[in-house]
Structure 1
């Protein structure tokens, strides 16, 4: 298990590698670049291909998958597109389809590569194409959304029948910028995406009516749910907005840990809609296998996967209604919005089951907040859980009562026998 110190070090590394600052749209400033290196267990670097991780990740242990998938695993259930897979665009570093769990999940023909070709004719062009991912970031993001089940691992995507549209827009050098991201959003809409995942961010606001803002607005108007990571610059404790997550109509996702609390690196702000698991996240990597990583980059696709399931079950719902459903059913300690985890930590099963009718915004209940303790991964338990302790104490109490009853009963029998012998 990764130690807290190692986790903070990893988060700091992510922040250092993704801390680019965006300026005006005209300047086409770079968006934050994904981290090129991950650590599978806190002790070594992840190499591609990686070994299979056999166990079920904690982020999936907390979900009753049979109940989550009782209506759909990502296949549209009603309407003119019934029976077709819901389409989710991943605007990132590409999605490697050599990983067996992604081979049948990716629509390579609809993919787009927006990275520029080298201007120097003598310079060899880097490997290209939307299914090329030399970083591994986009492959992990896609896996959390739609990885298929595979023998030898307990990892699977949240929506394992959804289709991924790969849009390669960035790399380890931070080549992507606000203009290419805007273009990526437009390409995703044109390719029929019902959900767009953007696990990238800028550090400062762009000018009003920037190309990126216009692209987001057009996507929402085209009935597309846009999900974006809130960013990994939260270690300094400062509240700030990141983009495109902070644009109106976008579902901004922060990172939570095993205790449903904000991960230390997760950027806080009033724009955060919900939080989702983002610590020690298992997912697919290029060429095969899985690795572990940390960041809001991996919280966002967890939510995008749930959004894909909601859209597949309710294709007639608007983007706002899908977002409101996810926010309404999130687990929260208080009946209010929180700048750290938004409306709470996403509850996938509630989002797919408490859906009798669409809603347009969160409605606060008069009673206590929905704050059910998440199931603890049994394989990772280091001591007895609170429930086990209660059961143990209850057993002691019952056992003690039984002993007392036995003593009293025994004493009564002895007294009775003595009286009988005295009469005789």
Structure 2
């Protein structure tokens, strides 16, 4: 289904939540009604757009794409994007989206998941699987993967935890191998909740579930968001150009890894690209890596793929912390390791302790015995010099006498 209408995301942002600071990502938590699930991104972007970014965006500049893609570009891997829909009019997504597998769970929704009036889901999908296009350096991490578009939320935060659960079940039914959820709620949800059970069903089907950690981190408080905090879900925080946590990124013990989430370039409905901020756009970066790993390691379990991504992340500490989890994801390292999987990440070995320095023994500058030995040495040296002088003098006297006798 084609693109319906042009929407200004700035207006959407106002409807969702106020910006924390100029250019910062917003953090929407819904309207406060039970079960509301908010989108995790926002920014100023009009679409469709003529603009394409010619250069390679900074998150991709850090990846040796030839090395990343030496084994696979994700062909055959199906990634479900549960979001605001995925517009497939954008040329970089036209061949990436499987509209026949899509769905629309908004009230009154009748699309196949390819209507995106917000632009959020289209950006998410582009980060995962945008095809190369002449004139731009932007491309998805897994540019041969297939996107299953599932429309479950909109600019009014109409999505609920119950509709998200239904969307997850649809993704399972359509053969998703990776599910990306760039939405969250701070409402505490139990594993036995409708959404918790749906996530568990996906994990039981060996699906990698990736979710954004949320954008409520400006206050620095640790708190859990859902579905990211469910056991088995890979929760993704945002990092900046310095590989540090972006200020808006939600921190908590549930964070698995961080990924670029500041000034992120991606596709928009209709045509073109724009930049945005938020953990919404960090999660699909990781989902793209997971798609590549699905293709390269088809026999690995979802837990083993998650463990490899966490274990190979670039760390600022030897283990896990509440801000970037196990570290900032490193796509090439995740794909270039050996073929032996592990089931959980572990802290790096602590550096070996340097041996304790031995105490220095202090002594007098010269002991009496050393002084006597020094004097004896001097005496021997003086005697040797004296013997040499006497011997030399005797030789001179002898030679002089011989010369006189010869006259």
For residue 358 of structure 1, the aligned residue among 341, 355, 358 is: 341
SS in 2 for 1:197: strand
Alpha-carbon distance, 1:367 to partner: 5.0
Alpha-carbon distance, 1:208 to partner: 4.6
- Which residue of the partner structure matches residue 11 of structure 1? 24
* CA distance in structure 2 between the aligned counterparts of 1:106 and 1:7, rounded to whole angstroms: 33
Unpaired segments ≥5 residues, structure 2: 1-18, 353-407
For residue 170 of structure 2, the aligned residue among 184, 187, 194 is: 187
* CA distance in structure 2 between the aligned counterparts of 1:208 and 1:288, rounded to whole angstroms: 40
* CA distance in structure 1 between the aligned counterparts of 2:60 and 2:99, rounded to whole angstroms: 27
Aligned residues of 1:21 and 1:203 also touching (Cα < 8 A): no
Aligned residues of 1:22 and 1:206 also touching (Cα < 8 A): no
Per-residue deviation, residues 61-96 of structure 1 (Å, max 9, x unmatched): 000000000000002xxxxxxxxx100000000000
- Which residue of the partner structure matches residue 194 of structure 2? 211
Aligned residues of 1:335 and 1:368 also touching (Cα < 8 A): no
Aligned residues of 2:104 and 2:150 also touching (Cα < 8 A): yes
Length, aligned pairs only: 334
Aligned residues of 1:53 and 1:290 also touching (Cα < 8 A): yes
Aligned residues of 2:313 and 2:327 also touching (Cα < 8 A): yes
* CA distance in structure 1 between the aligned counterparts of 2:178 and 2:137, rounded to whole angstroms: 25
Per-residue deviation, residues 216-261 of structure 1 (Å, max 9, x unmatched): 0000000100000000000011100000000000000000000000
> What CA RMSD, in Å, does the superposition of the two structures yield over aligned residues?
1.8
* CA distance in structure 2 between the aligned counterparts of 1:53 and 1:350, rounded to whole angstroms: 27
* CA distance in structure 2 between the aligned counterparts of 1:94 and 1:334, rounded to whole angstroms: 38
* CA distance in structure 2 between the aligned counterparts of 1:183 and 1:351, rounded to whole angstroms: 31
- Which residue of the partner structure matches residue 414 of structure 1? none
* CA distance in structure 2 between the aligned counterparts of 1:368 and 1:254, rounded to whole angstroms: 27
Q: Is residue 339 of structure 1 aligned with residue 322 of structure 2?
A: yes
- Which residue of the partner structure matches residue 98 of structure 2? 107
* CA distance in structure 1 between the aligned counterparts of 2:248 and 2:23, rounded to whole angstroms: 9
SS in 1 for 2:199: helix
Alpha-carbon distance, 1:10 to partner: 3.2
- Which residue of the partner structure matches residue 271 of structure 1? 254
- Which residue of the partner structure matches residue 87 of structure 2? 96
- Which residue of the partner structure matches residue 232 of structure 2? 249
Alpha-carbon distance, 1:356 to partner: 2.5
In the superposition, relative to structure 1, how do residues 334 and 171 fare at CA in structure 2: closer, same or farther (>3 Å)? same
Unpaired segments ≥5 residues, structure 1: 1-5, 40-44, 76-84, 118-125, 370-424
Aligned residues of 1:255 and 1:263 also touching (Cα < 8 A): yes
- Which residue of the partner structure matches residue 87 of structure 1? 78
In the superposition, relative to structure 1, how do residues 179 and 60 fare at CA in structure 2: closer, same or farther (>3 Å)? same
- Which residue of the partner structure matches residue 38 of structure 1? 43
Aligned residues of 1:329 and 1:347 also touching (Cα < 8 A): yes
SS in 2 for 1:276: strand
Displaced runs of 4 or more, over 3 A: 126-129
Aligned residues of 1:142 and 1:301 also touching (Cα < 8 A): yes
Aligned residues of 2:29 and 2:36 also touching (Cα < 8 A): no
In the superposition, relative to structure 1, how do residues 33 and 343 fare at CA in structure 2: closer, same or farther (>3 Å)? closer
Q: Is residue 293 of structure 1 aligned with residue 303 of structure 2?
A: no
Alpha-carbon distance, 1:368 to partner: 5.3
In the superposition, relative to structure 1, how do residues 33 and 7 fare at CA in structure 2: closer, same or farther (>3 Å)? closer
Aligned residues of 2:74 and 2:292 also touching (Cα < 8 A): yes
* CA distance in structure 1 between the aligned counterparts of 2:175 and 2:191, rounded to whole angstroms: 27
* CA distance in structure 2 between the aligned counterparts of 1:207 and 1:69, rounded to whole angstroms: 39
Aligned residues of 1:74 and 1:312 also touching (Cα < 8 A): yes
In the superposition, relative to structure 1, how do residues 197 and 209 fare at CA in structure 2: closer, same or farther (>3 Å)? same
* CA distance in structure 2 between the aligned counterparts of 1:207 and 1:305, rounded to whole angstroms: 28
Alpha-carbon distance, 1:50 to partner: 4.1
SS in 2 for 1:11: coil
Aligned residues of 1:48 and 1:286 also touching (Cα < 8 A): yes
For residue 178 of structure 1, the aligned residue among 146, 161, 164 is: 161
Alpha-carbon distance, 1:362 to partner: 1.1
* CA distance in structure 2 between the aligned counterparts of 1:22 and 1:368, rounded to whole angstroms: 48
What is the TM-score when the length of structure 1 is the normalising length?
0.76
- Which residue of the partner structure matches residue 198 of structure 1? 181
Alpha-carbon distance, 1:206 to partner: 1.8
What is the TM-score when the length of structure 2 is the normalising length?
0.79
Q: Is residue 329 of structure 1 aligned with residue 321 of structure 2?
A: no
Per-residue deviation, residues 165-197 of structure 1 (Å, max 9, x unmatched): 000000001111010000000000110000000
* CA distance in structure 1 between the aligned counterparts of 2:321 and 2:104, rounded to whole angstroms: 37
